[in-house]
Structure 1
Amino acid sequence: MKIFSLIWCMFLTTLIVAQEKASINSPDGKLEVTVEVENGKPFYSVIYNKKTMLGKSPLGLVTNEGDFTSAIKWLASSKGTTSSEYTLEKIKQSQVSYKANTLNVSFSNAKEQEIAMYFQVSDNDIAFRYQLPKWGDTRACVVEKELTGYNFPAGSTSFLSPMMQSMGGFARTAPSYESGYSADAQLESNTSETGYVFPSLFKIGENGWVLLSETGVSSLYTASHLSSFKDGIYSVAYPDPAQNNGFGSTGAQIGLPGYTPWRTITVGETLKPVVETTIPYDAVDQLYEPSQDYKYGKGTWSWIVWQDNSMNYEDQVKYIDLAAAMDFEYILIDAWWDERIGYEKMEELIDYAKSKGVDVFLWYNSNGVANDAFMTPLNKMNTSIARKKEMKWLKKVGVKGLKVDFFGGDKQETMKLYENILSDANDYGLMVIFHGATLPRGWEKMYPNFVGSEAVLASEMLIFSQDVRNKEAFYASMHPFSRNAVASMEFGGILLNKYLNKGNKEGQERLTTDAFQLATGVLFQNPVQMFALTPNNLEDVPEFELDFLKELPTTWDETVFIDGYPGKFSVLARRHDQSWYVAGVNAEKSVKKLKLELPMLAGKTVTLFSDDKTKETYFKEIKIPSSGKVSVDIQPNGGFVIKN
């Protein structure tokens, strides 16, 4: 009898454990996510091709209405599928077909309040979020903390960018996602008190790669980042209370039923899935209809090299003429235009640009209350009344877009400001670029008039910092695998001055070659690119380089990973219509000799733009063998582009 009872108890225990665990696989069967409850706590784990990518990692939320991190009971699970087909011209791939298997798991806490976890698992991507129902008469709550964690196997290394210190930096405008990256760092060395920005890249020993991010952040939630490494785990971290000058909750106020943004995990044995992922857009929906068809393209802007002193009517005419000569669609007129040119003269300038076939973007300071940024126009974008009045004028005079600067923070208060600017701008037919800003999180699809954000250590720091100039190639080799893998990136590059100032004779010497600069025009993806050319480049840059930039697209139908290693070198191929561009840069100190497989160019005669040992850029026609295999040498701080 005792033996029978023991066996029966063992059976019951096994049954209970089995009922508190569920797994879901990707359509191709290689990617597996397991969710379970152990000792009253929820966990998940990730396996790819029978190799552990994430060990048992914590889940859970803390709200002001209930704690969903302990005393958790498994209620039920169900599986399904989801799929979508969509067209989105302004991301790395214009036509997307998404298929995923789904898992929905429901739990209850000690107060018998329910919560659910919903997972979508495609062949190389996981998207999951928490779903909160109504609890009795409770129709609202504040999510105060999230325990979602990432438990990487021993021996993993990281490629991370630290979150900037709140209310630091220029005029207390940080954090603005403008820190550099470290490469192949041991997890134990990731001790930044401020944590690390998304996206976050990890090498899982010999198993492969993992890219972490989030998507679907709107006015309904706060944006998050990655914590520092603690007790073997990284966790999702909500904003520092000091952001936004200490104003606003660090959590999220949501109505019930409601849900969190999507946590995304991209996995692969190589970097190909990381570079080619579309999960930031697969998991989200468009929030409103575009008020018109928006036109993407290239532009000039004087501020990047000629700086504040160029904000006068005469210099802007020179940059309009430069845009016209280069067949660019736009000019961006930056800070101080309202004071130094004025509204009345600006209307004349806009008319002049139109006569040259060039349209205008105007810069605005987002600030009115959150930091000390003082550049004007000020107090035009931070309130609804002022914003709509300004946008009515912008539409009347024919401005096509805005660049809005100096946000600094990820609280829900700031997410509301981003969304309000975008929504109002769409009503007036205006595109929007954000600068001094957070990472876009699915915004290219969610907001039809959103055309990119900086959110990177961008071209302006090449002007201001010798250290950034020294590391330009290093950072450029990182971006396709990290920042630009999950969102459009308005870098503001293609610097062809030898010295990064108006005189172009001495001072801030550029250390990369012209071929490197041309390559970044392909490597860095954004549907509207404001390039850092100067009027003198029409005379002092070889004509074939200018011709290349005149023809360079800013939208792509396909993006393919070719080769690379973050921090060392990167090679990508992008297709626009029938034209392929294959581009690469080298961040190492010796010549990079590569044997590339380019099946899309097999048997074709193409143009190679590259540089020699003297850093001189050249071009020549070459024939790609029918095998599609070709050898390419990339000089240190150099680059190449192959174009058919």
Structure 2
Amino acid sequence: MAYIRSLICFFAILYTVKLTAQDVSIESPDKNLRVSCSVEQGRLYYTVNYKGAVLLDKSPLGLHTNESNFINGLKFATSDTGKIEKTYEQDRIKVSRISYQANVLTLTLENEDKQLLSVVFQVSNNDIAFRYELPVWGERRSVVVHQEETGYRFPQETTAFLSNMMKPMTGFARTAPSYESAYIADAPIASAKSKYGFVFPGLFKVGDKGWALLSETGVNGLYCASHLREISEDGTFHVAYPDMEQNNGFGSTGAALSLPGVTPWRTITVGSDLKPIVETTIPFDVVEPLYEASQAYKFGKSTWSWIVWQDQSMNWDDQVTYVDLASGLGYPYILVDALWDVNLGKEKLEELVQYARSKNVDLFLWYNSNGTFNDAPQGPRNRMNTSIARKQEMKWLQEIGVKGLKVDFFGGDKQETMRLYEDILSDANDHGLMIIFHGATLPRGWERMYPNYVGSEAVIASEMLIFSQHVRDNEAFYATLHPFVRNTVGSMEFGGVLLNKYLHRENKDRNKRLTTDAFQLATAVLFQNPVQPFALTPNNLSDVPSFEIDFMREVPTTWDETRLVAGYPGKYVVLARRHCDKWYLAGVNAENTPVKIKLNVAMLDGGTRKSISDKKDGTTYQSNIKIDKHGEIDVTIQPKGGIVIF
């Protein structure tokens, strides 16, 4: 369980004044980051400066509710300042111990109806988090927020790294949107056009001034999730709420709040380079656990037959084979995927749990989330979407010894869907079950908020390598984006490390893999998720070099520290991650030519380390690599190749 080790202190408010001027600002503790707010002609704006450079120009703030308008006719009422210092531990993100310091500004505004609204900013050295806080308005103790005016207006020279929001009710069995779209990379923001907008997080390069990552955190069942609209005519990306077409047109597009109430946090991470982007912990710094863990949850690696062997593998013999594979590799889990309910049935499933336990392996089980909002036929269905059925099912799962669930096919960001995510997590914790979400939205601080949450897909993941030639062609390109964009803000259940040369059961003739073995091994480190089902197959034990399997036996899935070593999104990336006292360095290359770079790896503390990399012909080999007295090494990463050093 994630829990706070040391005292969380909120220092007393330094001052509260009645504002006479129509602008106010706040700086980060190191004074490099500055947020300035102003009211101009009754509208609220903010700007962001980092080290003297404008990263966000005059950008709008405000809410439109069913009770009142907080977009026009605004004026400052009061301004409160303070600061926050806290240290906490978290066992399922990129770093295990975090110290967070931020300065706080609370702006209270009054609209033409004499109603108040506060905007709270928390500004740390490279991060901004802000949200709206709504008080009780007279007799009003409930409100519906229809939309936000919140926007981000970047300088014209900015380029964007964005993934489209999928059109609702499209894709497999009308299950979209599921955050599985392609990226635009380094595209001028003026070309950032998409009818349904772009999902969080979004990465922006502001010319030679720096970088900015936009996202949100703290979304639970009390609010909807949001995304970015396409760029407006005046060059602004506005926050957008879910499209009405999601979830078959049923449910809300805004959010219903009990007053007093708060919105989720909007987050902005900035830096002169990409290091603060990759290493940020802001999604977790501003949220707290919503309940205690019912038990100590165990994380680790998993085998998974479905990813390569597909639906046909959902039978007793193949699942036993994959239990044996997990046991032989020392993996604690096997993921039993869709259709187990009809192909195995509950009685045989209980036998499989007992057999796996005899091999020191436990089960994650796949479930369909829906009964009502899409057409996905795979079962079990209608067990997760209602409280009575869900609790009955989870009681049985706990009794037979299942340890976790993978729940699939959500397809929406409405408040009703966020409530379903939360209900599944809460009920699962009551029954000692961990939860992975697949075909799902971006996690928004959930690793800290929900102690039994262990990851979401929300990315073009390994299954699309099986199904799509386009994704196979662009595998390296996407892999060099995820550490800078998607995986910066939350766990990413990718399900990778495909060592078959051809991505199907027979391992020949079709679906040829276009990346090297070293590339695949590197993704085991690059892609962070505390419970990761890897795509290894039984034949890999004999048809790939033994050092590759030895690495996959050893590599952890939880980390105590993460550092960006080098890279550029869409081109190449090198990360270092530490588990206990051991560092793992991993890199991949999406370029068509070798990347030759000198890396500062002082964290490895000198000496000689093992290295797995590629020759020019794509052959993967293991060698020893010596770190020089300056803590540096020269490496070459081949096209669509990789390197791991450990």
Alignment of 1:267-286 (within 5 A): 267-286=270-289
Alignment of 1:34-53 (within 5 A): 34-53=36-55
Distance (Å, rounded) in 2 between the aligned partners of 1:286 and 1:407: 23
Q: Report the Cα offset of residue 16 of structure 1.
A: 11
Alignment of 1:587-606 (within 5 A): 587-606=590-609
Query: Which of residues 371, 391, 399 in structure 1 aligns to 2:394?
Result: 391
Distance (Å, rounded) in 1 between the aligned partners of 2:642 and 2:508: 24
Alignment of 1:78-93 (within 5 A): 78-93=80-95
Query: Which of residues 300, 304, 319 in structure 2 aligns to 1:301?
Result: 304
The answer (yes or no) to whether the contact 2:19–2:76 under 8 Å persists in 1 is no
Q: Report the Cα offset of residue 604 of structure 1.
A: 1.7
Give the corresponding residue for 1:161. Answer: 163
Alignment of 1:131-530 (within 5 A): 131-231=133-233, 232-530=235-533
Distance (Å, rounded) in 2 between the aligned partners of 1:410 and 1:542: 44
Deviations 1:73-131 (A, max 9, x none): 11111111012111001100000000000000000111111000000000000000000
Query: Which of residues 553, 558, 566 in structure 1 aligns to 2:556?
Result: 553
Give the corresponding residue for 2:127. Answer: 125
Q: Report the Cα offset of residue 602 of structure 1.
A: 3.8
Q: Report the Cα offset of residue 280 of structure 1.
A: 0.2
Q: How many residues align?
A: 629
Distance (Å, rounded) in 2 between the aligned partners of 1:118 and 1:394: 43
Aligned AA for 1:52? Answer: V
Distance (Å, rounded) in 2 between the aligned partners of 1:198 and 1:45: 20
Distance (Å, rounded) in 2 between the aligned partners of 1:386 and 1:291: 21
Q: Report the Cα offset of residue 263 of structure 1.
A: 0.1
Query: Which of residues 562, 579, 590 in structure 1 aligns to 2:582?
Result: 579
The answer (yes or no) to whether the contact 2:87–2:98 under 8 Å persists in 1 is yes
Deviations 1:4-31 (A, max 9, x none): xxxxxxxxxxx99962111000000000
Q: Report the Cα offset of residue 457 of structure 1.
A: 0.4
Distance (Å, rounded) in 1 between the aligned partners of 2:156 and 2:197: 20
Distance (Å, rounded) in 2 between the aligned partners of 1:222 and 1:592: 43
2:558 aligned counterpart, secondary structure: coil
2:381 aligned counterpart, secondary structure: coil
Distance (Å, rounded) in 2 between the aligned partners of 1:214 and 1:180: 20
The answer (yes or no) to whether the contact 2:254–2:415 under 8 Å persists in 1 is yes
Distance (Å, rounded) in 1 between the aligned partners of 2:279 and 2:445: 15
1:479 aligned counterpart, secondary structure: coil
The answer (yes or no) to whether the contact 1:602–1:625 under 8 Å persists in 2 is no
Aligned AA for 1:33? Answer: V
Aligned AA for 1:543? Answer: S
Deviations 1:441-484 (A, max 9, x none): 00000000000000000000000000000000000000000000
Q: Report the Cα offset of residue 605 of structure 1.
A: 1.3
Q: Report the Cα offset of residue 181 of structure 1.
A: 0.8
Query: Which of residues 52, 56, 59 in structure 2 aligns to 1:57?
Result: 59
2:481 aligned counterpart, secondary structure: helix
1:369 aligned counterpart, secondary structure: coil
Instruction: Compute the TM-score of the two structures, normalised by the length of structure 1.
Output: 0.97
Aligned AA for 1:524? Answer: F
Distance (Å, rounded) in 1 between the aligned partners of 2:536 and 2:525: 16
Aligned AA for 2:466? Answer: I
Distance (Å, rounded) in 1 between the aligned partners of 2:552 and 2:437: 24
Aligned AA for 1:339? Answer: V
Distance (Å, rounded) in 1 between the aligned partners of 2:548 and 2:20: 64
Deviations 1:311-367 (A, max 9, x none): 000000010011011110100000000100010011111100001110000000001
Q: How much identity, in percent, do the aligned residues show?
A: 63
Distance (Å, rounded) in 2 between the aligned partners of 1:257 and 1:166: 32
The answer (yes or no) to whether the contact 1:602–1:626 under 8 Å persists in 2 is no
**Structure 1, 69-78 or 602-611: larger mean CA deviation:** 602-611
Q: Report the Cα offset of residue 307 of structure 1.
A: 0.3
2:480 aligned counterpart, secondary structure: helix
Distance (Å, rounded) in 1 between the aligned partners of 2:588 and 2:318: 33
Distance (Å, rounded) in 2 between the aligned partners of 1:223 and 1:582: 34
Aligned AA for 2:93? Answer: I
1:222 aligned counterpart, secondary structure: coil
Give the corresponding residue for 1:6. Answer: none
Q: Report the Cα offset of residue 538 of structure 1.
A: 1.0
Distance (Å, rounded) in 1 between the aligned partners of 2:37 and 2:222: 27
Distance (Å, rounded) in 2 between the aligned partners of 1:112 and 1:346: 62
Give the corresponding residue for 1:72. Answer: 74
Instruction: Compute the TM-score of the two structures, normalised by the length of structure 2.
Output: 0.97
Distance (Å, rounded) in 2 between the aligned partners of 1:101 and 1:454: 34
The answer (yes or no) to whether the contact 1:602–1:627 under 8 Å persists in 2 is no
- The reply on whether 1:627 has 2:630 as its aligned counterpart is yes
Unaligned runs of 5+ in 2: 1-16
2:24 aligned counterpart, secondary structure: strand
Distance (Å, rounded) in 1 between the aligned partners of 2:509 and 2:555: 29
Give the corresponding residue for 2:573. Answer: 570
Unaligned runs of 5+ in 1: 1-14
The answer (yes or no) to whether the contact 1:249–1:412 under 8 Å persists in 2 is yes
Aligned AA for 1:242? Answer: E
Give the corresponding residue for 1:8. Answer: none
Distance (Å, rounded) in 2 between the aligned partners of 1:49 and 1:392: 55
Give the corresponding residue for 1:109. Answer: 111
Deviations 1:372-396 (A, max 9, x none): 1110000000000000000001000
Distance (Å, rounded) in 2 between the aligned partners of 1:134 and 1:93: 38
Distance (Å, rounded) in 2 between the aligned partners of 1:418 and 1:633: 43
The answer (yes or no) to whether the contact 2:294–2:432 under 8 Å persists in 1 is yes
Distance (Å, rounded) in 2 between the aligned partners of 1:432 and 1:612: 40
Deviations 1:508-527 (A, max 9, x none): 00000000000000000000
Distance (Å, rounded) in 2 between the aligned partners of 1:195 and 1:295: 37
Give the corresponding residue for 2:12. Answer: none
**Structure 1, 147-156 or 16-25: larger mean CA deviation:** 16-25
Q: Report the Cα offset of residue 416 of structure 1.
A: 0.3
Aligned AA for 1:613? Answer: K
Distance (Å, rounded) in 1 between the aligned partners of 2:578 and 2:46: 38
Q: Report the Cα offset of residue 603 of structure 1.
A: 2.1
Q: Report the Cα offset of residue 242 of structure 1.
A: 0.4
Aligned AA for 1:480? Answer: P
1:414 aligned counterpart, secondary structure: helix
**Structure 1, 78-87 or 333-342: larger mean CA deviation:** 78-87
Distance (Å, rounded) in 1 between the aligned partners of 2:250 and 2:96: 40
Deviations 1:195-238 (A, max 9, x none): 00000000000001000000000000000000001121000000
Find runs of 4+ consecutive structure 1 residues off by over 2 angstroms.
15-18
Distance (Å, rounded) in 1 between the aligned partners of 2:549 and 2:238: 47
Aligned AA for 1:230? Answer: S
1:505 aligned counterpart, secondary structure: coil
Distance (Å, rounded) in 1 between the aligned partners of 2:242 and 2:103: 32
Aligned AA for 2:213? Answer: L
